[in-house]
Chains A and B, each alone.
Chain A
Amino acid sequence: MHAVNPFLRNFKYAFVGLLFGIVFVKAEIISWYRIQEMFRLQSFHMYGVIGSAIAVGMLSIFLIKRFNIKTLKGETIVFVEKKFDKGKIYGGLLFGLGWAITGACPGPLYAQIGIGFTVVIITLLSAIGGAWVYGYFREKLPH
């Protein structure tokens, strides 16, 4: 047990990601058109997806906390607090602009490449570049 190959240990996350990627495509969440419809209030679809995902997530977290449910290994489940700073506003607005242009948030970028839009590799590389530039200027940016 002590020296489990890191590849095998992490493989279960790839499997969860795989199922997640199928949902992304089958529900057309990664579609540029669905995102345009969302921001033009022309379709309920994305609001339904995000809203029902939050409802199920909220209930799950409530049950985990209420019944002190443990991980498979018996560890206590840890919840990360998200602290407020002005980055949530400035960064949030900038990300929103990018979301509406590309029709993708970070998860769908990977899925758009997977369905064969290989040019989205450029968008993903640019997003990685954006994360790097943020890291470079982090201390100088207002938070």
Chain B
Amino acid sequence: MINFIEFIKQPWPWYVAGPLIGLTIPVLLIIGNRSFGISSSLRHICAACMPSNINYFKYEWKNEIWNLFFVSGILVGAFIAASWLGNGDPISINENLRTELATYGITQIDGLLPEQLFGWHNIFTFKGFIMMVVGGFLIGFGTRYADGCTSGHAIMGISNLQMASFIATCCFMVGGFIMANLILPFILLL
């Protein structure tokens, strides 16, 4: 039992986490005929709070409310994991990444995100604005334009052998590679 708790408190390897995420697909289908997908929650929030007579937001969002319960659960689960299921060790990262980040002055590496970038103290700096506000906008606009995100396309769509989802996933990866390697270095230097 002690060993099990020790195991839970360490970071979980990919071969534990990946299959558990994959199992979400049959669980959601069997308990309520729901297709795994998360970015649609952004649309439902718009439809519920500010539909503004826009066609895209004219639908019965209340029929999709399961999705908002699901994402609320994610938030609470993350809180539980961070509060009680950690071992307090700083995150270990690739040494090349550590060296590269040091050149941008990011040296405090302990939590899951760099506090030097993602903090309230940064929200009104140009760099903070790009990383949090522009970054968030691209996530919302892009996933709705593509009609899905990593969960709906990369995991659910590809699992269901949808060519459109495979193409969308390739584009997610291309966009990510371009940003991380060609653009982000300049943003981090700001």
Q: A5 at interface (Cβ–Cβ under 8 A)?
A: no
What B residues does A105 contact at CB under 8 A?
38-39, 139, 143, 149-151
What A residues does B77 contact at CB under 8 A?
17-25, 111, 114
Does the CB pair B167–A96 fall under 8 Å?
A: no
Q: Which of A96-121 contact B (CB under 8 A)?
A: 96-107, 109-120
List the B residue with the shortest CB-CB distance to A77. Answer: B29
A112 CB to nearest chain B CB (Å)? 6
Does the CB pair B33–A44 fall under 8 Å?
A: no
What B residues does A130 contact at CB under 8 A?
42, 136-142, 144
Q: B102 at interface (Cβ–Cβ under 8 A)?
A: no
Mostly, the B contact residues are helix
List the B residue with the shortest CB-CB distance to A29. Answer: B17
Does the CB pair B18–A49 fall under 8 Å?
A: yes
Mostly, the A contact residues are helix
Sampled A-B contacts (16; CB under 8 Å) = A13-B28, A13-B69, A17-B72, A27-B17, A28-B112, A42-B94, A57-B26, A57-B159, A82-B168, A90-B145, A93-B142, A95-B145, A101-B131, A126-B134, A128-B46, A136-B52
A: residues with CB less than 8 A from B are: 6, 10-33, 35-40, 42-58, 60-61, 63-64, 69, 71-72, 75, 77-85, 87-107, 109-120, 122-136, 138-139, 141
